[in-house]
C-alpha cells in the first residue's frame, strides 16, 4: 500500500525522519519496500501481509508507529451538524436478510450535495495513492477508505426505489447487475447484493451498480458503511474476476467498530466540501451482542517459546500499547484484542505480537540443545549424487529444464498409443499450450537444449539431466513420480586432436557403463535392437539391470531429427535411465573372495563370424563353457575389410584360465582351450582366422 | 722384463680403447686382448715356460693387468650403454604441449551445486534429508498448512492445478506435513526440491527450487531458529555477513520472520541489487503454527518447532553474481561451463 508520509504526520507527531519511520515499520512487520519522492511529500511503499487488514490505511500504519514510539494518535475531525431537511424521499429502511454475511449495516442520507471537482489537495492524495479523482462525493468515500481503511459507498438517493435497502444473497431472485464499470454481470446464488425495492443496486463490498451511481445531477445521496463477511466477498470477487479497493479490504477482514466514525468522517467531509446536509444515521448491528473476544496466555509461555527472558511487566506494557487491554495474575495474562485485530486468534499470535514489538533483533541466538536422534542413512541421496557425478565425469554437463512438456512431442517421438509415456498429467491452467503437460520423458527437453546450443554455433554438446517424470496414476491417486537420468550428445570431432573412428553409440554406452560400474552393478546387459521408435534400429539397445529394463541408449533416428529440425551431420546419441530401478537393483555389500594365489594363463582366439553375431553372444558362450578353469573372457579386437569376406567380421577374444589350488600346466590349458574353440566354432558358425 | 710387458699391454690397450664408440667395437677389443687368442691370454699361456719363481710374480702382474683391462672395458661398456639410451630417448621426444588424452568432465548445474552445498551445511548440523511428491494434494500444499480455500494467502502463490484437489506444489512446505504425519518428534530435517508457480516474467520462472526445513522438539525456541539460520547464512555467504530477522507472515508459522542478509555487493551502503536498502531478503521462517501441529496430531502444548524455506535460484544468483534467473533453464553450454 502506498502511504503518504505527510498525511500520516497529520495523525501523529513522530519527530522521526521518513527513513527512520520506514526502518521502524520494517522491523515490526510492515515492510517498507521503497520510498518515493512526491510533491512536498514522500510516499512509502508498504508491503502489508494478508493477515494485517488493519494496516491497509493511514490510520493502521499510524497505530503501528504509535505502539512503537508511544506517541498519541490525533484522529481527523468528524463533527457533523444534523439539520433535518423535509423534502425528498422518506428515510431509508434497512433490512439485513443474511446476518452472518452482513453483520453490521449503517447508512445516512446526505441532502443538498453539490457535485463538483474535489479540492486539489484531496485529488492529489488520491492520485498519489493510485486512485483517479472522479467527483467530490466519490472521492470522499475513497479518501476515507485510504485514511481509515473502511470502504464506503454512496448511492444517488433519488434512484433508490421504494426507500429501502435489502442486504441478501442473490439466490435466484437477483440474477443480473450492471456494475459501475458498465459491465452487465450474472450473479451466482451466494453473491451478496444490496437491493432496493425493485432489484440489486450494488454488489455488496465489491462495486456499486450503474443505476444508482452518483452523477453531475445528483443532489441527495445515501452513504453506506457496512461489514461484509470476507470469504463470501472473496468468492464473489473471484467468480466475477472483479477486484476493487473495497473488496481487497473486506476479503481480508474489515473493522466492525470503526463504522460509525468512518460514516461521520465521510459525512463531515461532504458537509465541508460539498455543502451536504447529513441526516440522522441508521445503524443495524445484529452482531453487536457478540462477546468481546478474550485470549489467555500462560505467563511463562512467551519467554519459553521465544527462548529469552522477557519480564512480565514488559509483556504487559507491549500489550497495553497494542490496545489489547491485558489483565493478569501470577499464571495467566488475559487479553482482549481490539476489533480491528481479527487476525489475533490464539496464544501464538500474542507471542508474535510481543516479539515483533519487543524486537526480533533483541532475541538472542542459542543453538538448540538437541538430543541425539537417529536419522535414516542418506543412501538414496548419495546414490543420486554419485550418479550425477559419474555422468559428469563422462563429459556431460548438467541441464535443468522445466517439468512441462508440449503434448506434440509424444507424436514427434512416434510413441505408440499404448506407450506409458502417453499417460501424461495435464494442467488445467498452463501458462501456454507448449507447457500444458508434465514430462513423461526428459528427452524432448534435451533435444531442445541441443538445438539452442547448436544455433549458437556450439560444436560439442553433451548434456544430461536428472529429474522426475510424471505418469498419470489411477483414479484418485497422485501420479507416479520417477527419477530419470537422461543424456544427449552431439560431437563434432573434426577439430578434436584425438578423434578416433569408433561409432558415436559407444560414447553414450560408455557413459552408462561407467555409471553402472560406479555402483558395481555387474548384472547388466545391453540388448539390441531396442524397440524405441525414435532410435536408430541398428544402433540402439535396451539397458537391462538384474533382469529389469531400466532404460535405453542409442542414436537418434534420422526421421526424429528431421521432425525436430535438428541440423548437422554428426550422429546424436541419447540415453535415458530410470534411477529408481537402478537404485532398487544396487548390489548388496560385497562378500570377499580370496585373491588368486596361482598364476593365470591367457589364450587368444580370433574368429571370423557373421556380422550379426554379437560380442556378448560369444562371451556368454565362453563363460557358459563347462570348465571351472575359465576365469574371464573379453573382446579385444574387431576387424572388417581386407582378408575378411563381405558380411563377415573378425573378432578377437582373450580368455584367462586359472585354478584356485595349483599352477596350471600347459597341457591342461591346451586341452580345455581346444575344446572351447571347437564349441565356439559349432555354436557361432564361425571359423578360426 | 715382465713389468715392461705389462705396461706395454696397458698402454696399447688404452690407446685402442680411446676411439671405441660402440658396443661391437668394444667387444672386438675385448677379444683382441682377453679372447682365446688374445694378447693377454697369449702372455698368460707363456707363463708355463717360465721358471717357477718368476712365474709367480709375472702371473700376478699379468692378472693385475687383466683386471685393469676388464674394469676399463666394463666402465666403457656402461658409458656406451648410457650414451646409446640417451640417444634413443632423445630421438623419441614428443611435443609435450599437445593436449592430454582424457574425457573433459562436464559441469554440475549451478543450482544443483548450491542445493547440495546448502544441504551439506544442514546435514552437518544433524538435519536429515526428506522428499515429497511434486504433484501434491491441495490438502498438503494448503489446507494442512493452515491455508484454507478462499484464504487471501493463496493469492501469494499462483497455483498450477491438475484437478480440483491436486496441484503442482507451490512450495516444499507440504513435505513438513507428510513427514510429521509419518514420524514422531523430535524431528530435524530439510526437504529440497522443485516447486511451481503459475508465473513467468523477467524475475519469475514457473518452476524453481526450494529447500524447506523443520525442527520439532520439546523445547525448540525462536532463539534456536535465529541461531540455526544465522549459522547457516554465515556458512553459505561469509562468517561476517550481517543477518537480520524481521516480522512477517506465513499462515503456517507464528511468529513468522523474513530473514535478510546485508547486501553482499554494496556491503550495506545501497545498490541496485538491494534496491538501495542495504539488505537482501534471503529466506522465510517462523515457529510452527499450533494449527499445523493439531492437523498432524502433535500436541502444541508439548511440542514446539521452527520451519524455514528458501529459494535456491535466488541464493545461486547472489553467490555467482548471475543477473537473470532465466539463464538457469536455457542450458547454454557456455553458461553451464562456468561453474
Residues A411 and A491 grouped into a single domain: yes
Beta strands A437-438 and A295-298, pairing class: unpaired
Determine, yes or no, domain membership for A88: no
CA distance A366 to chain B (A): 5
Q: Which of A137, A199, A400 is nearest to B312 (CA)?
A: A400
Per CB-CB distance under 8 Å, the chain A contacts of B105 are: 392-393, 395
Contact A397 B333 (CB under 8 A): yes
* pLDDT category of residue B17 using cuts at 50, 70 and 90: confident
User: Bigger pLDDT: B202 or A453?
Assistant: A453
Q: Are A388 and B112 within 8 A, CB to CB?
A: yes
Using the CB atoms, write b or e for A136-165: b if 16+ within 10 Å. bbbbbbbbbbbbbbbbbbbbbbebbeeeeb
- The CATH number of residue A328's host domain is 3.30.56.10
Rounded Cα distance between A128 and A641, Å, is: 85
Which site among B112, B165, B333 would you substitute to test the A interface, given the most A Cβ atoms closer than 10 Å to its Cβ? B333
Q: Are residues A272 and A302 in the same domain?
A: no
How far CA A57 is from CA of A60, A272, A619, B325, in Å, comes to 5, 22, 82, 35
Nearest to A461 by CA among A449, A478, A443: A449
The rounded Cα A480 to chain-centroid distance in angstroms is 20
The partner residue sitting opposite B332, judged by closest CB among A251, A366, A452, is A452
Q: Identify all chain A residues contacting B331, using CB atoms and an 8 Å cutoff.
A: 399-401, 449, 452-453, 463
Residue A334 resides in a domain: yes
Q: Is residue A230 part of a domain?
A: yes
What pLDDT, on a 0 to 100 scale, did the predictor assign at position B135?
Answer: 98
Question: A591 lies in a domain?
Answer: no
Check whether residue A550 and residue A669 sit in a common domain. no
Report the chain A residue with the minimal C-alpha distance to residue B247.
A29
Q: Are residues A49 and A141 in the same domain?
A: no
Q: What is the pLDDT of residue A150?
A: 97
The cell numbers describing A181, all together, are 464499470
* DSSP symbols for B95-159: -TTSPP-S-------HHHHHHHHHHHHHHHTT-EE----SEEEHHHHTGGGT--TT-GGGGGS--
**Within 13 Å of residue B293, how many CA atoms lie on the same side as its CB?**
26
Determine, for residues A427 and B160 on separate chains, whether the beta-carbon distance falls below 8 Å: yes
Q: Which residue in A has a C-alpha nearest to residue B138's C-alpha?
A: A478
Give the closest of B116, B161, B276 to A427, CB-based: B161
Does residue B113 sit at the A interface (CB-CB below 8 Å)?
no
Residue A594 lies in a domain: no
Residue A85 lies in a domain: no
With a cut of 90, say whether residue B156 has pLDDT above it.
Answer: no
**A197 and A335 inside one domain:** no
Residues B228-241, mean pLDDT to the nearest whole number: 95
Task: Assess if residue A596 is contained within a domain.
Answer: no
> Residue A428 and residue B161: Cβ atoms within 8 Å?
yes
Angle A136-148/A259-274 helices, nearest 10 degrees?
Answer: 140
Burial code (b: 16+ CB inside 10 Å, e: under 16) for A391-405 equals bbbbbbbbbbbbbbb
Tell me: the pLDDT tens digits for B297-316?
999 999 999 999 999 999 99
pLDDT number for residue B157: 66
DSSP 8-state assignment for residue A422 = G
- Predicted pLDDT of residue A456: 95
Closest CA to A149 of A41, A311, A266: A266
8 Å CB contact of B152 and A50: yes
| Residue ranges of chain A whose pLDDT lies below 70 | 85-90, 291, 370, 495-500
Q: Are residues A349 and A390 in the same domain?
A: no
CATH assignment of the domain containing A122: 3.50.40.10
> CB of B267 within 8 Å of any CB in chain A?
no
Interface with chain A: mutation pick from B331, B332, B339, highest number of A CBs within 10 Å: B331
Portion 276-335 of B in contact with A at CB < 8 A: 276, 287, 289-290, 304, 328-334
The whole-angstrom distance between B215's CA and the closest CA on chain A is 10
Interface contact flag, B337 A397, Cβ < 8 Å: yes
CA distance A395 to chain B (A): 4
Mark which residues 157-186 of B lie under 8 Å from A by CB. 160-163, 166, 168, 186
Show the cell assigned to A558.
Answer: 534420422
* Strand bridging mode A93-96 / A164-169: parallel
For domain B110-336, give the fold.
BirA Bifunctional Protein; domain 2 (3.30.930)
Count the domains in chain A: 5
Q: Are residues A445 and A353 in the same domain?
A: no
**Min Cα–Cα distance to chain B from A371, Å:** 8
The verdict on a CB contact (< 8 Å) between B247 and A27 is yes
Q: How far is A572 from chain B (nearest CA, A)?
A: 16
- Yes or no, beta carbons of A373 and B247 under 8 Å apart: no
Contacts of A360 in chain B (CB under 8 A): 222, 226, 244-247, 257
Contact B105/A429, CB-based, under 8 Å?
no
ipTM (interface predicted TM): 0.89
Clarify whether residues A550 and A486 are in a common domain. yes
| For B331, nearest residue in chain A (alpha carbons) | A399
Residue B46 banded pLDDT, cuts 50, 70, 90: confident
Which chain A residues have a beta carbon less than 8 Å from that of B216? none
B65: contact with A, CB 8 A cutoff: no
Task: Please identify, among A361, A390, A412, the residue that sits at the C-terminal boundary of a domain.
Answer: A361
Contacts of B153 in chain A (CB under 8 A): 50-51
Cis before B255? omega within 30: yes
Contacts of A349 in chain B (CB under 8 A): 254
* Residues of chain A positioned with their CB less than 8 A from the CB of B326: none
Instruction: Please state, in angstroms and as integers, the Cα–Cα distance from residue A138 to each residue in A181, A208, A215, A218, A264, following that order.
Output: 14, 11, 9, 12, 15
B199-218 residues touching A, CB cutoff 8 A: 200, 205-207, 215, 217
Find, in chain A, the residue whose alpha carbon is nearest to that of B187: A373
Residue B278 buriedness (CB in 10 A; 0-12 / 13-18 / 19+) = middle
**How many Å apart are CA A528 and CA A612, to the nearest integer?**
11
Residues of B in contact with A28 (CB under 8 A): 246-247
User: DSSP 3-state assignment of A625?
Assistant: coil
- Looking at CA atoms only, how far is residue A117 from chain B in angstroms? 35
Judged by CB atoms closer than 8 Å, whether chains meet at B246 and A31 is answered as: yes
CATH number of the structural domain spanning residue A677:
3.30.70.380
B chain contacts of residue A405, beta-carbon cutoff 8 Å: none
Same-domain pairing of A182 and A313: no
For B9, half-sphere exposure in the C-beta direction (CA atoms, 13 angstrom radius) is 27
Residue finishing a domain among A553, A584, A615? A584
Chain B residues within 8 A of A403 when measuring between CB atoms = 134, 168, 194, 196, 207
Closest Cα in chain B to A447:
B331
Residues 6+ apart with CB under 8 A from A66: A12, A72, A73, A321
Are A444 and A520 contained in the same domain? yes
CB contact under 8 A, A385 and B244: no
The tens digit of pLDDT for each residue in B248-304 reads 999 999 999 999 999 988 888 888 888 888 999 999 999 999 999 999 999 999 999
- The boundaries of the domain holding residue A508 are 379-584
CB pairs under 8 A between A and B: 244
Q: Give contacts of B 114-133 with A, CB under 8 A.
A: 116, 119, 123, 126, 128-129, 133
Q: What is the pLDDT of residue A438?
A: 98
The answer to whether the CB atoms of A365 and B109 lie below 8 A apart is no
Same domain for A208 and A235?
yes
Q: How far is A274 from chain B (nearest CA, A)?
A: 37
Interface touch B258/A31, C-beta < 8 Å:
yes
Residues of chain B with Cβ-Cβ distance to A498 below 8 Å are: 99, 101
Which residues does chain A have within 8 Å of residue B230's beta carbon, measured at their own beta carbons? Answer: 365
How far from chain centre, in Å, is Cα A123? 39
pLDDT given for residue A341 in this prediction: 94
Amino acid at each position: 500500500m502506498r502511504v503518504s508520509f505527510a498525511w500520516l504526520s497529520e495523525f501523529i507527531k513522530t519527530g522521526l525522519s521518513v527513513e527512520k519511520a520506514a526502518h521502524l515499520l520494517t522491523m515490526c512487520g510492515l515492510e517498507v519496500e521503497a520510498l518515493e519522492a512526491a510533491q512536498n511529500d514522500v510516499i512509502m511503499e508498504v508491503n502489508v501481509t494478508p493477515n494485517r487488514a488493519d494496516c491497509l490505511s493511514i490510520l493502521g500504519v499510524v497505530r503501528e508507529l504509535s505502539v512503537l514510539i508511544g506517541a498519541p494518535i490525533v484522529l481527523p475531525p468528524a463533527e457533523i451538524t444534523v439539520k433535518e431537511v423535509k423534502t425528498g424521499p422518506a428515510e431509508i429502511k434497512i433490512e439485513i436478510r443474511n446476518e452472518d454475511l452482513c453483520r453490521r449495516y449503517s447508512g445516512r442520507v446526505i441532502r443538498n450535495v453539490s457535485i463538483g471537482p474535489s479540492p486539489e489537495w484531496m485529488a492529489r492524495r488520491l492520485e498519489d495513492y493510485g486512485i483517479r479523482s472522479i467527483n467530490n462525493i466519490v472521492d470522499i468515500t475513497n479518501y476515507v477508505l485510504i485514511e481509515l481503511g473502511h470502504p464506503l459507498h454512496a448511492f444517488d438517493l433519488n434512484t433508490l426505489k421504494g426507500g429501502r435497502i435489502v442486504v441478501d444473497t442473490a439466490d435466484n431472485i437477483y440474477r443480473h447487475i450492471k456494475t459501475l464499470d458498465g459491465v452487465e454481470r450474472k450473479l451466482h446464488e451466494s453473491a451478496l447484493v444490496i437491493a432496493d425495492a425493485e432489484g440489486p443496486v450494488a454488489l455488496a463490498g465489491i462495486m456499486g451498480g450503474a443505476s444508482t451511481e452518483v452523477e453531475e445531477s445528483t443532489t441527495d445521496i445515501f452513504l453506506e458503511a457496512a461489514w461484509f463477511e470476507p470469504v463470501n466477498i472473496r468468492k464473489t470477487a473471484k467468480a466475477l474476476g472483479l477486484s476493487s479497493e473495497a473488496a481487497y479490504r473486506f476479503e481480508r477482514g474489515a473493522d466492525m467498530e470503526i463504522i460509525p466514525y468512518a460514516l461521520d468522517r465521510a459525512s463531515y467531509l461532504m458537509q465541508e466540501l460539498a455543502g451536504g446536509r447529513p441526516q440522522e444515521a441508521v445503524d443495524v448491528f445484529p452482531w453487536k451482542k457478540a462477546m468481546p473476544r478474550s485470549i489467555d496466555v500462560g505467563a511463562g509461555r512467551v519467554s519459553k517459546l521465544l527462548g529469552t527472558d522477557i519480564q512480565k511487566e514488559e509483556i504487559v506494557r507491549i500489550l497495553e500499547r497494542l490496545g489489547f487491554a491485558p489483565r493478569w495474575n501470577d499464571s495467566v495474562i488475559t487479553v482482549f484484542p481490539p476489533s480491528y485485530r481479527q487476525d489475533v486468534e490464539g496464544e501464538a499470535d500474542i507471542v508474535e505480537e510481543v516479539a515483533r514489538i519487543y524486537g526480533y533483533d533483541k532475541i538472542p541466538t542459542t543453538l538448540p540443545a538437541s538430543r541425539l536422534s537417529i536419522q535414516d542413512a542418506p543412501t538414496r541421496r548419495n546414490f543420486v549424487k554419485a550418479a550425477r557425478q559419474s555422468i559428469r565425469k563422462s563429459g556431460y554437463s548438467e541441464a535443468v529444464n522445466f517439468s512441462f512438456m508440449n503434448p506434440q512431442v509424444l507424436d514427434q517421438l512416434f510413441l505408440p498409443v499404448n506407450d506409458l509415456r502417453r499417460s501424461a498429467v495435464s494442467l488445467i491452467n498452463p501458462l501456454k499450450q507448449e507447457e500444458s503437460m508434465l514430462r513423461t520423458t526428459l528427452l524432448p527437453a534435451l533435444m531442445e537444449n541441443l538445438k539452442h546450443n547448436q544455433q549458437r554455433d556450439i560444436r560439442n554438446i553433451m548434456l544430461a539431466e536428472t529429474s522426475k517424470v510424471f505418469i498419470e496414476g489411477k483414479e484418485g491417486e497422485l501420479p507416479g513420480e520417477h527419477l530419470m537420468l537422461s543424456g544427449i550428445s552431439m560431437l563434432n570431432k573434426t577439430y578434436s586432436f584425438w578423434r578416433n573412428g569408433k561409432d558415436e553409440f559407444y560414447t553414450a554406452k560408455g557413459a552408462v557403463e561407467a555409471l553402472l560400474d560406479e555402483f558395481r552393478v555387474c548384472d547388466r546387459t545391453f540388448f539390441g535392437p531396442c524397440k524405441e521408435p525414435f532410435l536408430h534400429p541398428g544402433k540402439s539397445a535396451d539397458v537391462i539391470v538384474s533382469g529389469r529394463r531400466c532404460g535405453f541408449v542409442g542414436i537418434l533416428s534420422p526421421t526424429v531429427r528431421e521432425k525436430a529440425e535438428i541440423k548437422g551431420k554428426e550422429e546424436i546419441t541419447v540415453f535415458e535411465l530410470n534411477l529408481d530401478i537402478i537404485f532398487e537393483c544396487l548390489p548388496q555389500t560385497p562378500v570377499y573372495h580370496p585373491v588368486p594365489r596361482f598364476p593365470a594363463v591367457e589364450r587368444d582366439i580370433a574368429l571370423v563370424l557373421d556380422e550379426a553375431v554379437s560380442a556378448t553372444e560369444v562371451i556368454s558362450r565362453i563363460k557358459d563353457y563347462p570348465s571351472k578353469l575359465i576365469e574371464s573372457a573379453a573382446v579385444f579386437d574387431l576387424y572388417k575389410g581386407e582378408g575378411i569376406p563381405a558380411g563377415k567380421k573378425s573378432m578377437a577374444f582373450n580368455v584367462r584360465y586359472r585354478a584356485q589350488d595349483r599352477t596350471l600346466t600347459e597341457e591342461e590349458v591346451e586341452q580345455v582351450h581346444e575344446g572351447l574353440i571347437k564349441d565356439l566354432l559349432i555354436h557361432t558358425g564361425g571359423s578360426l582366422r | 722384463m715382465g713389468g715392461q710387458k705389462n705396461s706395454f699391454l696397458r698402454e696399447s690397450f688404452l690407446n685402442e680403447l680411446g676411439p671405441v664408440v660402440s658396443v661391437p667395437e668394444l667387444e672386438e677389443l675385448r677379444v683382441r686382448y682377453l679372447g682365446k687368442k688374445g694378447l693377454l691370454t697369449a702372455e698368460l699361456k707363456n707363463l708355463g715356460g717360465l721358471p717357477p719363481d718368476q712365474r709367480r710374480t709375472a702371473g700376478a702382474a699379468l692378472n693385475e693387468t687383466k683386471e685393469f683391462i676388464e674394469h676399463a672395458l666394463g666402465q666403457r661398456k656402461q658409458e656406451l650403454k648410457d650414451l646409446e639410451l640417451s640417444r634413443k630417448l632423445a630421438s623419441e621426444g614428443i611435443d609435450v604441449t599437445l593436449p592430454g588424452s582424457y574425457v573433459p568432465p562436464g559441469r554440475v548445474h549451478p543450482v544443483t551445486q548450491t542445493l547440495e552445498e546448502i544441504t551439506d551445511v544442514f546435514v552437518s548440523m544433524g538435519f536429515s534429508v526428506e522428499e515429497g511428491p511434486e504433484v501434491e494434494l491441495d490438502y498438503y500444499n494448503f489446507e494442512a498448512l493452515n491455508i484454507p480455500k478462499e484464504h487471501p494467502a493463496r493469492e501469494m502463490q499462483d497455483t498450477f492445478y491438475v484437478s480440483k484437489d491436486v496441484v503442482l506444489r507451490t512450495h516444499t512446505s507440504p513435505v513438513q506435513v507428510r513427514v510429521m504425519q509419518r514420524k514422531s518428534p523430535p524431528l530435524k530435517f530439510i526437504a529440497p526440491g522443485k516447486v511451481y508457480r503459475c508465473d513467468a516474467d523477467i524475475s519469475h520462472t514457473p518452476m524453481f527450487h526450494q529447500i524447506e526445513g523443520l525442527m520439532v522438539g520439546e523445547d525448540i525456541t525462536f532463539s534456536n531458529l535465529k541461531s540455526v539460520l544465522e549459522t547457516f547464512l554465515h556458512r553459505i555467504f561469509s562468517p561476517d555477513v550481517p543477518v537480520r530477522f524481521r516480522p512477517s507472515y506465513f499462515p503456517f508459522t507464528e511468529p513468522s520472520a523474513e530473514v535478510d542478509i546485508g547486501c553482499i555487493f554494496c556491503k550495506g551502503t545501497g545498490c541496485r541489487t538491494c534496491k538501495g536498502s542495504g539488505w537482501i531478503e534471503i529466506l522465510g521462517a517462523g515457529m510452527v503454527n499450533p494449527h499445523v501441529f493439531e492437523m498432524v496430531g502433535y500436541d502444541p502444548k508439548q511440542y514446539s518447532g521452527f520451519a524455514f524455506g528458501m529459494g535456491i535460484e535466488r541464493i545461486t544468483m547472489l553467490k555467482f553474481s548471475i543477473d537473470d534467473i532465466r539463464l538457469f533453464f536455457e542450458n547454454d553450454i557456455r553458461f553451464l561451463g562456468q561453474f
